[in-house]
Amino acid sequence: MDKDWLVTGKNITFHHQLGKQKIKVLDGLNLKISKGEIICLRGPSGSGKSTLLNILGLIEPFQDGQLTFMGQNFSLISEQQKNKIRRYQLGFIFQDFQLIDVLSARENVEWFLARQGIKDNVRREIALENLAKVGLEDQIDKKPVEMSGGQRQRIAIARALAKKPSFILADEPTASLDQKTGKQIMSILSALKHQSGVSMIIASHDEMVAEYVDRIITLTDGKITDDQLISR
């Protein structure tokens, strides 16, 4: 039953169209992600990691196959429904943090809570709580430009978490960070997964990321070539 899975993808195919030429990026990919699972998506550049992440995040439409999220068929939903899912169910962590420079750490976290219609004082509490979870309780009024890369990525994590999503998609979250900070970030993500039960899929080249995940999926030329559960 699909509903036992958070995400199921069947025969997902994606190609770029360059003139008359089709460049296949994902080639009939099958995938299942269970609730509370933390997955590392690995593979060489051009293997389709980011594309898969974009498809799972409803950022890029795919051409063929079927993708369900909590039993809901993504192919059959409207743009409005997609926005709603992105707003309430999905959290994003980007390699380059993608924070809003003109807002403070707290305001960056609060922004999407405000967009969820959460009232001022409640969203402030949620923002503070999530910034505390990533160890930034004493940096809440600083702007991203006044903070280090690691701190910025922690704001991004707090922002993603504050939405209470079912699924977090992280694209190379440690790539812009040094090894030590990268480990801190992964520790935080791993701990948060255990606290909140959120599922995560992390696209990364970083070998270190594998130490913190439950499962490693390797993509090669748009196909899953390895799917390995990690037992600890």
Nearest approach in angstroms of CB 227 to other proteins is 25
Inter-CA distances, 133 with 10, 46, 138, Å:
36, 34, 12
Residue closer to other proteins by CB (options 112, 212) is 112
CA dihedral 200, 109, 176, 59 (to 10 degrees): 60
Nearest approach in angstroms of CB 183 to other proteins is 25
Strands of the sheet with 64-69, listed across from one edge: 21-33, 7-18, 64-69, 72-73
Inter-CA distances, 138 with 104, 134, 135, 141, 187, Å:
12, 11, 8, 8, 20
User: What tokens does 206 get?
Assistant: 């970083």
> Per-residue contact track with other proteins, 48 to 77, x per CB under 8 A?
------x--x-xx-----------------
**In whole angstroms, what is the distance from residue 51 CA to residue 46 CA?**
9
User: Which of 98, 94, 102 minimizes the C-alpha distance to 169?
Assistant: 94
Q: Which range in 23-31, 82-90, 173-181, 199-207 contacts other proteins by CB under 8 A?
A: 82-90
Q: Which range in 41-49, 83-91, 133-141, 201-209 contacts other proteins by CB under 8 A?
A: 83-91
The one among 15, 32, 35, 87 contacting other proteins by CB under 8 A: 87
User: What tokens does 222 get?
Assistant: 């748009």
> Per-residue contact track with other proteins, 126 to 165, x per CB under 8 A?
-------------------------------------x--
Residue closer to other proteins by CB (options 144, 150) is 144
> Per-residue contact track with other proteins, 99 to 118, x per CB under 8 A?
-xxxx---x--xxx-xx---
CB 186 within 8 A of CB 211: yes
> How many residues bind other proteins, per CB under 8 A?
27
Inter-CA distances, 121 with 86, 110, 137, 141, 197, Å:
23, 10, 17, 16, 25
Does 84 contact other proteins by CB under 8 A? yes
Residues that bind other proteins (CB under 8 A): 54, 57, 59-60, 79-80, 83-88, 90, 92, 94, 98, 100-103, 107, 110-112, 114-115, 163
